[in-house]
């Protein structure tokens, strides 16, 4: 389950930010998870809940934002939306899609005090 190491990564990032920006508590975490990423939002939420007590994010609310999968079709030359990595082009049915977005996971914003 790689969500646990991702959750640990998020907490590490919060620690670094807290040191750099001098805050003591995190109130809300906005986490962007691309639809094409391999991260399961609910298990990530579960992992974070499990390890965030006794950290500066103990009382933090987690807001998950799904970013859409985007690709560029090499066959018809159009940017298209895809729900899955190996989908074919919704415009022309071609199979030469180059994924251009929606693969990443990142902390978008923090509400802190």
Q: Decide if residue 63 touches Zn ion (CB under 5 A).
A: no
* DSSP H/E element including 17: helix 3-21
Min. distance of Cβ 107 from Zn ion in angstroms?
33
Q: Decide if residue 100 touches Zn ion (CB under 5 A).
A: no
Contacts of 38 (CB under 8 A, 6+ apart): 2
Contacts of 42 (CB under 8 A, 6+ apart): none
Q: How far apart are CA 104 and CA 113, in angstroms?
A: 27
Answer for which of 4, 56, 92, 99 binds Zn ion (CB under 5 A) is 92
Q: Decide if residue 56 touches Zn ion (CB under 5 A).
A: no
Residue 76, classed as helix, strand or coil, is: coil
Answer for which of 7, 73, 105, 110 binds Zn ion (CB under 5 A) is 73
Q: Decide if residue 74 touches Zn ion (CB under 5 A).
A: no
* Tokens coding 71: 């690709």
* Tokens coding 56: 């500066």
Q: Decide if residue 71 touches Zn ion (CB under 5 A).
A: no
When the beta carbons of 73 and 82 are compared against Zn ion, the nearer one is 73
Min. distance of Cβ 94 from Zn ion in angstroms?
4
Residues that bind Zn ion (CB under 5 A): 73, 75-76, 89, 91-92, 94
């Amino acid at each position: 389950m790689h969500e646990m190491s991702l959750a640990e990564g998020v907490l590490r990032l919060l620690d670094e930010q807290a040191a750099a920006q001098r805050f003591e508590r995190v109130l809300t975490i906005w986490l962007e998870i691309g639809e094409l990423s391999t991260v399961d939002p609910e298990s990530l939420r579960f992992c974070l809940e499990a390890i965030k007590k006794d950290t500066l994010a103990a009382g933090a609310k987690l807001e998950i934002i799904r970013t859409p999968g985007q690709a560029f079709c090499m066959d018809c030359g159009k940017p298209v939306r895809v729900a899955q990595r190996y989908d074919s082009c919704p415009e022309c049915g071609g199979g030469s899609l180059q994924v251009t977005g929606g693969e990443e996971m990142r902390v978008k914003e923090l509400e802190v005090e």
